[in-house]
A = this chain, B = another copy of it.
């Protein structure tokens, strides 16, 4: 981000905070925490992918990963507070500019991970694999719209 855009964006944010009072005290902390959550999400997703691809045999772990992912999806809705759009983040301004659209993306992630838990409890590997791909679709959908390309 250029200095000017940053400053302008900061001014907008201050205005938004004054308007809503919903900013966080520790923007950098909020970003670090968000990145930790996304790291955990990525770790569980990759572990499940390796199991589903048959690269490791640990099918017994899928339920635990699915549960963890559903918990993380619930957390995801609170890790983009106003004010956490600065600094070392790949989060796009669209998250805060299009809050309804962003909320839909997070809600889809939550719904599909909840369905993943149910599929894990059902024990049908085919159904679990299909549902896993739906979860992956919600990751991709959200990242395509709301995360900087890397």
Interface residues in chain A, defined as those with a beta carbon under 8 Å from any beta carbon in chain B: 24, 26, 28-30, 32-33, 35-47, 49-51, 53-56, 58, 61, 64, 67-68, 71, 75, 78-79
7 cross-chain pairs, A with B, having the tightest CB-CB distances, nearest first:
A29-B55, A40-B43, A39-B43, A36-B46, A33-B50, A36-B47, A68-B68
List the B residue with the shortest CB-CB distance to A51. Answer: B33
The quantity of this chain's copies bound in the complex is 2
A-B contact pairs, 20 of them (CB 8 A): A24-B56, A29-B50, A29-B56, A32-B46, A32-B55, A33-B46, A36-B44, A36-B49, A37-B47, A38-B43, A39-B42, A39-B43, A40-B47, A40-B68, A43-B43, A47-B75, A64-B68, A64-B75, A68-B68, A68-B71
